[in-house]
């Protein structure tokens, strides 16, 4: 998995590139990880302090080191700023599938960065990891995230009623999937 991690950390698109997640980047990561609006629907707790973000990065690095997850920081080429995190996880070797996830600083929402990020992850997963299927689960209220998946030709496969409980409210989960033979 180490070779795949190195490849994942070196993906490059038109506006962004991926780089290895590093504890040294805690300040930039904390900037979006501590934003209530950004963290609301992404599946990790709001990082209230720099120390919490530091600990979270160490957890992610540990997961990657044992081969259960791939993580990359997303860097905007123009400014060299870290603007998000991309991940591939929940690998199922028998079924040859995995889940993708992503988080993006809200300053970069609606500008194509998320769409490019998912395109790069999908291409990598199908071509370098030879996966058969990728999937993502999003909170139904996270319209922007669903739109990113749809733009990358992920299909809505199902809805899990009241799957998430966030801020004392239930939300449905939308399950999106993409199969490699759909690549053209």
- In terms of residue numbers, what domain contains 43? 2-182
Q: Does pLDDT of 146 surpass 50? A: yes
Number of domains in the chain: 1
pLDDT band for position 3 (50/70/90)?
confident
Q: What is the CATH number of the domain that holds 121?
A: 3.40.630.30
pLDDT greater at residue 140 or residue 46: 140
Residues 108, 19, 141, CA angle at the centre, nearest 5°?
Answer: 35
Cβ atoms of 100 and 148 closer than 8 Å: no
> Residue length, the chain?
184
Distances (CA, A) of 48 to 36, 45, 51, 63, 84: 9, 9, 8, 22, 17
Instruction: Report CA 150 to chain centroid distance, whole Å.
Output: 15
Closest C-alpha among 11, 153, 162, 154 to residue 72: 11
User: What span, in angstroms and rounded, lies between the C-alpha atoms of 136 and 153?
Assistant: 12
**What's the pLDDT score for residue 40?**
81
Identify the weakest region by mean pLDDT among 96-110, 122-136, 167-181: 167-181
Entry pTM: 0.93
% of the chain with per-residue pLDDT over 70: 97
């Amino acid at each position: 998995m180490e070779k795949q991690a190195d490849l994942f950390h070196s993906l490059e698109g038109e506006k962004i590139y991926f780089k290895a997640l590093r504890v040294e980047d805690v300040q930039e990561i904390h900037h979006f990880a501590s934003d209530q609006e950004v963290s609301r629907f992404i599946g990790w707790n709001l990082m209230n302090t720099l120390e919490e973000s530091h600990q979270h990065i160490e957890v992610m690095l540990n997961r990657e080191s044992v081969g259960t997850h791939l993580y990359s920081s997303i860097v905007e080429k123009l400014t060299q700023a870290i603007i998000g995190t991309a991940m591939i996880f929940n690998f199922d070797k028998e079924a040859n599938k995995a889940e993708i996830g992503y988080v993006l600083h809200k300053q970069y929402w609606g500008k194509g960065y998320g769409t490019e990020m998912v395109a790069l992850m999908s291409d990598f997963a199908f071509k370098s990891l030879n996966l058969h299927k990728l999937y993502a689960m999003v909170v139904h209220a996270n319209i922007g995230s669903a739109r990113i998946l749809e733009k990358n030709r992920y299909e809505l496969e199902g809805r899990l009623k009241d799957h998430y409980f966030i801020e004392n409210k239930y939300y449905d989960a939308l399950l999106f999937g993409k199969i490699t033979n759909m690549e053209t």
